[in-house]
């Protein structure tokens, strides 16, 4: 099954390579990986989406922990969390489709970030599932290009 | 000796750090990126630099030294080809968990990434084969980086660490500060075993009717042999060991069952298949040990102690994991064992019956020489007290079967990676580290040729290494598989037409050499070689060419189904 893993790492040259190379060397599935600095400039947070049986996931978590540059590894999958992904979707635009595109973009709370005579770029934020649905529904209008950030995730606060 | 607060250049800081780490020997080879280091080295007297003849040799020597002494081995090589030549040795150390610190020179920082002369991205290349590695970007970070490198190499599960040092960093000046302690927030190995887990293990052991210790190299690196011996004898638990674990428990003790796995003893593998409790300590359920995992120790409740949590449940699902240092585990178990003891005599006599059913033996013929005889004879003449180094292949497996290892740090062999060419240089490294026991190398003719240039290092340093060449002029283990499983297509394994005269080769290097081709001459040559201590000696044992190692578990087979002899290869027990 799909697992969402959050990893705090040293914000150092080569850390992303160490993590990605470990996944490929051990044959683990790596669906997406995203990384960015945290409030402490010496530490980055990585969000990793992977798939596998429990036995594999347990190895993934242990192998991540084993890397010297990882500080904390958390499997968020079964914990309360918020997960978001960013999608930039560039579509073909014509008079006949314009109206429908705007309407659908509204449904997904999309934000137009660029518009030209024959193209439009819309920004969407949501769970990866919602992003997948958006892509499916916009496909018939003609996708020029798209870019996804990969998931980022964080624990929900204590109530 | 320099003090904290002194202004030093990078190359001076480098040697001052090695001094603080109590480094005795550096195995190295100079080159362009290291010119400043070798300039400084010229006036260093308290750290001995051993000049090798190939950088691969340096890494294996450092490994031999580390395995024989328990202290980290240190390598110093230049950038580019110097660095890439260490890759096999580093991988070997990584697979066998040997502490190494490898220092590589690098092109000046300003040229990194420019495809400069003798540039290689050695940090990138060695990321998957080191425990960790560093590129030092600023001379101010050199001392802390070196102290971290030694700390990482020797703490937790040992392993190789690489430090890449650009030329300009080694020339730059800064105030020397040796860090008092090392703090790495992402590296906190579990040393102390969880008390509840130890209690559970003690209970399981106390009530087990057919328990078995499965001991790996972790017991040796944790220096836990005494605890193992006490516990096994006190509780009457038989002990089987992996290739790297040999010597952790005395091979001449009745509870010792020798090695398990592919070329393990018949009785050890039967015991694994029939035990009701398997206590794995510092071992990692390697495929050469388990054979087919679905049929491995199916009747047993499994306890697994290892310092590296990734080893737990990796190949075999265990019932009771105990993460922590093996010495702590065994010592805590001794404390936790109840006073009442289970009677294990019927289990031990069952094992004895298996031992009698398929013993390890061989026939001695007067006019031909068998490898088993050579190893058996060396074992007898050294009374099991030598530091035995092997290369990889048939002779290595025969060594595991016929040399009676009586103490830890006695076998130095390439287990995980199976590196041909490992033997000679690692025997040299061991001989630098150990001077009160003979250092004996068993090597095949194929493997010896792979790093034969290091004979120079042995001769020049007058190291009394006994090079026992098991010469069948075949790549014997590959030949064995070709005969058994590949329709007797002996593709490129017969070296008879191309091998040199090894006695002449050794003599050309300035090494004493002789040959033997029957049991009597072999016995005499062994006696003479063991008595000769003015330098290395090579004995070219012309052994029976087409012998095979038995018993054997065919790859992917169950360890309870061993091939016992060639005459009837279809017969499985």
Kindly state whether residues B401 and B267 are assigned to the same domain: no
Q: Which residues of A touch B185 (CB under 8 A)?
A: 71
A70/B186 Cβ within 8 A: yes
Q: Which residues of B touch A9 (CB under 8 A)?
A: 186
User: Which pLDDT score is estimated for B572?
Assistant: 39
Task: List all residues 6 or more positions away from B565 whose beta carbon is below 8 Å from its beta carbon.
Answer: B550, B571
Domain-embedded: residue B301: yes
Q: Which residues of B touch A55 (CB under 8 A)?
A: 313, 317
User: Which pLDDT score is estimated for B565?
Assistant: 81
pLDDT of A116 > 80? The answer is yes
Domain-embedded: residue B552: no
Kindly state whether residues B450 and B376 are assigned to the same domain: yes
Kindly state whether residues B348 and B296 are assigned to the same domain: yes
Question: How many angstroms away from the CA of B314 is the closest CA of chain A?
Answer: 7
Query: Out of A14, A59, A71, whose CB is closest to B314?
Result: A59
A63/B124 Cβ within 8 A: no
User: Which pLDDT score is estimated for A155?
Assistant: 93
User: Which pLDDT score is estimated for B1?
Assistant: 84
Domain-embedded: residue B185: no
* Average pLDDT of chain B, as a whole number: 96
pLDDT of B374 > 50? The answer is yes
Question: How many angstroms away from the CA of A83 is the closest CA of chain B?
Answer: 25
Number of Cβ within 10 Å of residue A54's Cβ equals: 10
A65/B184 Cβ within 8 A: no
Kindly state whether residues B205 and B164 are assigned to the same domain: no
Domain-embedded: residue B556: no
Q: How far apart are the first and last CA of chain A?
A: 28
Which band of pLDDT confidence, cut at 50, 70 and 90, is reported for residue B570? very low
B128/A21 Cβ within 8 A: yes
Number of domains, chain B: 3
User: Which pLDDT score is estimated for B368?
Assistant: 96
Residue B385, CA distances (Å) to A45, A67, B410, B431 in order? 53, 38, 7, 14
Span B59-67, average pLDDT = 98
3-state secondary structure of A159: coil
Q: Which residues of B touch A17 (CB under 8 A)?
A: 124, 127
Span B248-276, average pLDDT = 97
Return the residue in B162, B185, B306, B317 with the most chain A beta carbons within 10 A, the one to mutate for interface testing: B185
pLDDT of B229 > 80? The answer is yes
Is any Cβ of chain A less than 8 angstroms from the Cβ of B113?
no
Residue A61, CA distances (Å) to A70, B306, B316 in order? 11, 17, 17
Q: Which DSSP letter does residue B486 get?
A: S
Span B385-413, average pLDDT = 98
**DSSP codes of every residue in B292-334:** SGGGTTTT-EEEEEES-GGGTTSSS--SEEEES-HHHHHHHHH
User: Which pLDDT score is estimated for B217?
Assistant: 98
pLDDT digits (tens, 9 = 90+) for B168-205: 999 999 999 999 999 999 999 999 999 999 999 999 99
B128/A25 Cβ within 8 A: yes
A71/B186 Cβ within 8 A: yes
Return the residue in B162, B310, B313, B321 with the most chain A beta carbons within 10 A, the one to mutate for interface testing: B310
Q: Which DSSP letter does residue B553 get?
A: P
Question: How many angstroms away from the CA of B48 is the closest CA of chain A?
Answer: 31
pLDDT of B370 > 50? The answer is yes
C-beta pairs of A19-25 under 8 Å, 24+ apart in sequence: A19/A46, A19/A48, A19/A64, A19/A67, A19/A70, A21/B127, A21/B128, A22/A63, A22/A64, A22/A67, A22/B128, A23/A50, A23/A60, A25/B128
B127/A18 Cβ within 8 A: yes
Query: Out of A14, A55, A66, whose CB is closest to B313?
Result: A55
- Show which residues of B are catalytic: 55, 117-118, 167, 477
Give me the phi and psi of B117, to 5 degrees please. -60, 130
3-state secondary structure of A138: helix
Tell me the C-alpha distance between A18 and A30, whole Å: 13
**H or E element in which residue A152 lies:** strand A152-155
Question: How many angstroms away from the CA of A18 is the closest CA of chain B?
Answer: 7
Question: How many angstroms away from the CA of A37 is the closest CA of chain B?
Answer: 17
B127/A21 Cβ within 8 A: yes
Chain-centroid distance of CA B543 in Å reads 25
Instruction: Report the CATH number that the domain containing residue B377 is assigned in CATH.
Output: 3.40.50.970
Minimal-distance CA residue of chain B relative to A15: B127
Structure tokens at B148: 């971290």
Kindly state whether residues B420 and B470 are assigned to the same domain: yes
How large is the ipTM? 0.91
A59/B313 Cβ within 8 A: yes
Kindly state whether residues B209 and B158 are assigned to the same domain: no
User: Which pLDDT score is estimated for B569?
Assistant: 42
pLDDT of B571 > 50? The answer is no
pLDDT digits (tens, 9 = 90+) for B457-503: 999 999 999 999 999 999 999 999 999 999 999 999 999 999 999 99
Minimal-distance CA residue of chain B relative to A65: B186
Kindly state whether residues B32 and B114 are assigned to the same domain: yes
A13/B127 Cβ within 8 A: no
pLDDT digits (tens, 9 = 90+) for B8-45: 999 999 999 999 999 999 999 999 999 999 999 999 99
Give me the phi and psi of B464, to 5 degrees please. -80, 55
Residue B59, CA distances (Å) to B27, B129, B409, B453 in order? 7, 13, 18, 14
Domain-embedded: residue B336: yes
pLDDT of B563 > 80? The answer is yes
User: Which pLDDT score is estimated for B564?
Assistant: 86
Within B337-444, residue ranges assigned H as helices are: 345-357, 371-381, 394-402, 423-433
Q: Which residues of B touch A42 (CB under 8 A)?
A: none
Which band of pLDDT confidence, cut at 50, 70 and 90, is reported for residue B394? very high
User: Which pLDDT score is estimated for B341?
Assistant: 85
Kindly state whether residues B335 and B468 are assigned to the same domain: no
Domain-embedded: residue B1: no
Number of Cβ within 10 Å of residue B390's Cβ equals: 31
Span B309-335, average pLDDT = 97
Identify the domain containing residue B324 by its residue range: 195-357
Which band of pLDDT confidence, cut at 50, 70 and 90, is reported for residue A158? confident
pLDDT digits (tens, 9 = 90+) for B330-351: 999 999 999 888 899 999 999 9
Structure tokens at A127: 């769970």
CATH superfamily assigned to domain A2-75? ACT domain (3.30.70.260)
Instruction: Report the CATH number that the domain containing residue B350 is assigned in CATH.
Output: 3.40.50.1220
Tell me which of B357, B383, B404 is where a domain ends: B357
User: Which pLDDT score is estimated for A159?
Assistant: 73
CATH superfamily assigned to domain A83-155? ACT-like. Chain A, domain 2 (3.30.70.1150)
Kindly state whether residues B93 and B210 are assigned to the same domain: no
Domain-embedded: residue B383: yes
Span B400-418, average pLDDT = 97
B310/A59 Cβ within 8 A: yes
Q: Where in chain A are all domains bearing CATH 3.30.70.260?
A: 2-75
Question: How many angstroms away from the CA of B66 is the closest CA of chain A?
Answer: 22
Chain A, chain B: beta-carbon pairs less than 8 Å apart: 40
pLDDT of B566 > 80? The answer is no
């Amino acid at each position: 099954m799909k697992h969402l893993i959050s990893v705090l790492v040293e914000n150092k040259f080569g850390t992303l390579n160490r993590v990605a190379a470990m996944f490929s060397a051990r044959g683990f599935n790596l669906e997406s990986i995203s990384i960015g600095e945290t409030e402490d400039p010496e530490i980055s947070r990585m969000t990793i989406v992977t798939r596998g049986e429990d036995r594999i996931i347990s190895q993934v978590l242990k192998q991540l922990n084993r890397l010297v540059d990882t500080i904390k590894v958390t499997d968020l999958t079964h914990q309360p969390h918020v997960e978001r992904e960013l999608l930039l979707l560039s579509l073909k635009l014509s008079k006949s489709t314009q109206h429908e595109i705007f309407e659908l973009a509204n449904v997904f709370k999309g934000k137009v970030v660029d518009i030209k005579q024959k193209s439009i770029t819309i920004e969407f934020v949501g769970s990866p599932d919602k992003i997948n649905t958006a892509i499916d529904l916009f496909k018939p209008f003609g996708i020029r290009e798209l870019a996804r950030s990969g998931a980022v995730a964080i624990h929900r606060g204590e109530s | 000796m320099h003090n904290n607060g002194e202004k030093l250049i990078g190359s001076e800081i480098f040697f001052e750090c090695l001094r603080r780490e109590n480094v005795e020997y550096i195995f190295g080879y100079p080159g362009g990126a290291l010119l400043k280091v070798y300039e400084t080295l010229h006036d260093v007297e308290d750290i001995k630099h051993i000049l090798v003849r190939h950088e691969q040799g340096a890494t294996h020597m450092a490994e031999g030294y580390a395995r024989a002494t328990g202290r980290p081995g240190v390598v110093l090589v230049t950038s580019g080809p110097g660095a890439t030549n260490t890759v096999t040795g580093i991988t070997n150390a990584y697979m066998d968990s040997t502490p190494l610190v490898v220092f590589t020179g690098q092109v000046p920082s300003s040229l990194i990434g420019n495809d400069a002369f003798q540039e290689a991205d050695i940090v990138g290349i060695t990321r998957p084969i080191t425990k960790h590695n560093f590129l030092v970007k600023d001379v101010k970070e050199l001392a802390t980086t070196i102290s971290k490198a030694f700390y990482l190499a020797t703490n937790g599960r040992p392993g190789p660490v690489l430090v890449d040092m650009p030329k300009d960093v080694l020339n730059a000046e800064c105030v020397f500060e040796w860090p008092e302690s090392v703090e790495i927030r992402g590296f906190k190995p579990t040393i102390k075993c969880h008390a509840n887990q130890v209690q559970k293990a003690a209970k399981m052991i106390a009530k087990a009717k057919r328990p078995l210790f499965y001991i790996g190299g972790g017991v040796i690196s944790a220096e836990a042999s005494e605890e193992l011996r006490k516990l096994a004898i006190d509780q009457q638990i038989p002990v089987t060991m992996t290739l790297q674990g040999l010597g952790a428990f005395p091979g001449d003790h009745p509870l010792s069952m020798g090695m398990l796995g592919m070329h393990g003893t018949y009785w050890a593998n039967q015991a694994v298949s029939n035990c009701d409790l398997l206590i794995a300590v510092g071992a990692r359920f390697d495929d050469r040990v388990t054979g087919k995992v679905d049929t491995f120790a199916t009747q047993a409740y499994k306890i697994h102690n290892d310092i590296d949590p990734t080893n737990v449940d990796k190949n075999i699902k265990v019932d009771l994991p105990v993460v922590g240092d093996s010495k702590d585990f065994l010592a805590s178990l001794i404390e936790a064992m109840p006073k009442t003891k289970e009677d294990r005599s019927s289990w031990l006599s069952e094992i004895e019956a298996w031992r009698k059913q398929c013993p390890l033996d061989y026939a001695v013929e007067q006019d031909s020489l068998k490898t088993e005889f050579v190893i058996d004879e060396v074992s007898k003449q050294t009374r099991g007290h030598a530091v035995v180094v092997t290369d990889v292949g048939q002779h290595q497996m025969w060594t595991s079967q016929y040399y009676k290892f009586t103490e830890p740090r006695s076998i130095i062999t390439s287990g995980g990676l199976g590196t041909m060419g490992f033997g000679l240089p690692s025997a040299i490294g061991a001989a630098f580290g150990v001077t009160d026991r003979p250092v004996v190398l068993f090597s095949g003719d194929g493997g010896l040729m792979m790093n034969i240039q290091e004979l120079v290092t042995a001769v020049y340093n007058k190291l009394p290494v006994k090079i026992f060449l098991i010469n069948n002029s075949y790549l014997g283990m590959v030949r064995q598989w070709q005969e058994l499983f590949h329709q007797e297509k002996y593709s490129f394994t017969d070296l008879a037409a191309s091998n040199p005269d090894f006695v002449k080769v050794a003599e050309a290097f300035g090494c004493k050499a002789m040959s033997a081709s029957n049991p009597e001459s072999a016995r005499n040559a062994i006696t003479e070689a063991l008595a000769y201590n003015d330098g290395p000696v090579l004995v070219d044992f012309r052994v029976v060419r087409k012998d095979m190692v038995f018993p054997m578990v065919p790859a992917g087979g169950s360890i309870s189904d061993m091939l016992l002899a060639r005459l009837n290869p279809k017969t499985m027990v």
